[in-house]
């Protein structure tokens, strides 16, 4: 994670994935929803041992004495083993075995999580950690929900120094609030497609075009229009994709320089990307309505499914005799940069928590798991064992997107300004044309310009 992250951005919604239904100019389907991960459960199970063992870590600071102490985690999924996930994660195994500490789950639901967090803080019984999400910064930070983390993180330690530039983009009043562990393997916004179908149709493989540096908007439009060939029952794309496509132009709606948020709706780059989306809609290439990942490739009438990598397992499982390939979103013609929407994994330090040493140890364990080859491999093996339809080469390909020099972290601060911005205004702006709500990007932009200025003024 390098300094290139300081301007561009887009996250995907924590452990839940925000998915906006795709429609098009002459269709009525639209909407939005939240997909909660399959491992969400209230069931408990007794841990009986790891199938894939996690070796002890000599790199961890064992002078931190937290033996017998408990890390309190509030979330809608349990970090401890459950019936759905009977094996300890790499980070939980290291945390428990290295420090002799344990994790207590303060259970909440997806819908009530923020209310329950606020209630716990006011009531004097806060958790220690809570999942980093879009609204964590700046909204919840500005509301006093979280503590700065500079007393916990040694930014001079090589494993933390590597991600300090990314942490810097989440500073407020000179203090850091997000400790980036790394990027979540399940939360890269990418394009999936049936490679066997593409080969049978005689098209050049999009991934091969990407490898040759030729995967750009023009190539994307060309294969999309040839695939449809005038057949209105065939579509080029569906899913959650418009924001990630716009990011490929190298700009976002709201930017932040560490002190001031800026309305960037007049960006020429954004307008160029939105013109491509308008072209897709004009040719009826966008499939309307929600398509479940398990149904995306069943009938052969869809070319690309744009979604987070969390959807890969179901998509691949649905067509076991075919290969579901992934490829980054196409870049702007003439650009040598690939901008990608990928989600930072981190846990916020909750206001009122006095468990600093335990949180510090947990942070160090998580950062080690994301940065040390020994533990990234263990995590990979656990993922492949739990997701049998992920080929190893697909996992390695997605993991390569970690490299911010090749895949510039794209992030839009607008999602974190308020619930209204994140849930309503941002989807309307990015997807207004796709969902047939606005005649053009210009129409949507002008309608929301004053509202966006108003939202930003709260912080500036």
Give the single-character DSSP code of 416. Answer: G
**CA-to-CA distance for 158 and 170, rounded, in angstroms?**
20
Burial of 139 from C-beta contacts in 10 A (0-12 / 13-18 / 19+): buried
- Tell me the average pLDDT across 108-114: 96
How would residue 45 be classed by pLDDT, with cut points 50, 70 and 90? low
- Tell me the average pLDDT across 50-71: 89
Does the pLDDT value for residue 6 go beyond 80?
no
- Tell me the average pLDDT across 354-382: 96
180-197 burial, b at 16+ Cβ within 10 Å, e below that, comes to bbbbbbbbbbbbbbbbeb
What pLDDT, on a 0 to 100 scale, did the predictor assign at position 289? 85
Only one residue has tokens 């839009």, namely 412
What is the CB neighbour count within 10 angstroms for residue 239?
27
Q: What is the mean pLDDT of the chain?
A: 90
What pLDDT, on a 0 to 100 scale, did the predictor assign at position 341? 97
What pLDDT, on a 0 to 100 scale, did the predictor assign at position 426? 97
- Tell me the average pLDDT across 68-87: 91
What pLDDT, on a 0 to 100 scale, did the predictor assign at position 24? 42
How would residue 1 be classed by pLDDT, with cut points 50, 70 and 90? low
Torsion of CA 387, 388, 393, 398, to 10 degrees: -20
341-353 burial, b at 16+ Cβ within 10 Å, e below that, comes to bbbbbbbbbbbbb
pTM of the model: 0.89
Task: Tell me the residue ranges of DSSP E strands in 331-394.
Answer: 338-340, 342-345, 347-349
- Tell me the average pLDDT across 288-308: 96
């Amino acid at each position: 994670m390098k300094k290139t992250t300081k301007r561009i951005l887009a996250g995907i919604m924590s452990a839940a994935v925000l998915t906006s239904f795709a429609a098009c100019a002459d269709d009525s389907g639209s909407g939005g929803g939240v997909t909660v991960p399959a491992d969400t459960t209230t069931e408990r199970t007794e841990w009986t041992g790891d199938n894939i063992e996690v070796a002890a870590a000599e790199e961890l600071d064992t002078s931190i004495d937290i033996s017998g102490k408990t890390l309190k985690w509030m979330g809608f999924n349990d970090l401890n083993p459950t019936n759905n996930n009977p094996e300890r994660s790499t980070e939980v195994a290291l945390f428990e075995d290295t420090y002799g500490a344990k994790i207590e789950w303060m259970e909440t639901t997806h819908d009530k999580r923020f209310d329950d967090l606020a209630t716990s803080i006011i009531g004097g019984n806060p958790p220690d950690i809570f999942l980093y999400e879009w609204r964590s910064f700046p909204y919840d930070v500005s509301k006093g929900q979280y503590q700065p983390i500079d007393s916990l993180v040694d930014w001079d330690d090589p494993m933390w120094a590597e991600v300090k530039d990314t942490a810097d983009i989440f500073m407020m009043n000179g203090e850091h609030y997000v400790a980036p562990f790394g990027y979540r393997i399940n939360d890269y916004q990418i394009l999936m497609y049936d490679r066997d179908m593409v080969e049978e149709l005689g098209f050049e493989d999009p991934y091969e075009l990407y490898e040759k540096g030729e995967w750009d908007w023009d190539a994307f439009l060309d294969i999309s229009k040839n695939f449809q060939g005038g057949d209105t029952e065939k579509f080029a794309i569906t899913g959650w994709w418009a924001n990630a496509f716009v990011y490929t132009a190298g700009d976002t709606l709201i930017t932040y320089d560490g002190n001031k948020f800026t309305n960037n709706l007049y960006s020429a780059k954004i307008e160029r990307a939105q013109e491509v989306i308008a072209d897709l809609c004009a040719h009826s290439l966008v499939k309307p309505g929600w398509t479940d990942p398990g149904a995306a490739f069943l009938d052969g009438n869809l070319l690309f499914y744009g979604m987070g990598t969390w959807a890969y397992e179901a998509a691949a499982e649905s067509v076991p005799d075919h290969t579901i390939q992934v490829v980054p979103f196409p870049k702007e013609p003439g650009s040598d940069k690939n901008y990608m929407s990928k989600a930072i994994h981190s846990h916020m330090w909750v206001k009122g928590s006095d468990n600093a040493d335990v949180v510090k140890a947990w942070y160090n364990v998580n950062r080690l798991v994301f940065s040390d080859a020994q533990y990234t491999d263990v995590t990979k093996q656990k993922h492949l064992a739990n997701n049998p339809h992920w080929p190893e080469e697909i996992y390695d390909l997605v993991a390569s997107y970690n490299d911010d020099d090749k895949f510039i972290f794209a992030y839009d601060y607008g999602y974190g300004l308020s619930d209204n911005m994140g849930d309503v205004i941002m989807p309307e702006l990015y997807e207004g044309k796709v969902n047939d709500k606005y005649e053009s990007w210009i129409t949507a932009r002008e309608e929301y310009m004053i509202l966006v200025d108003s939202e930003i003024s709260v912080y500036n």
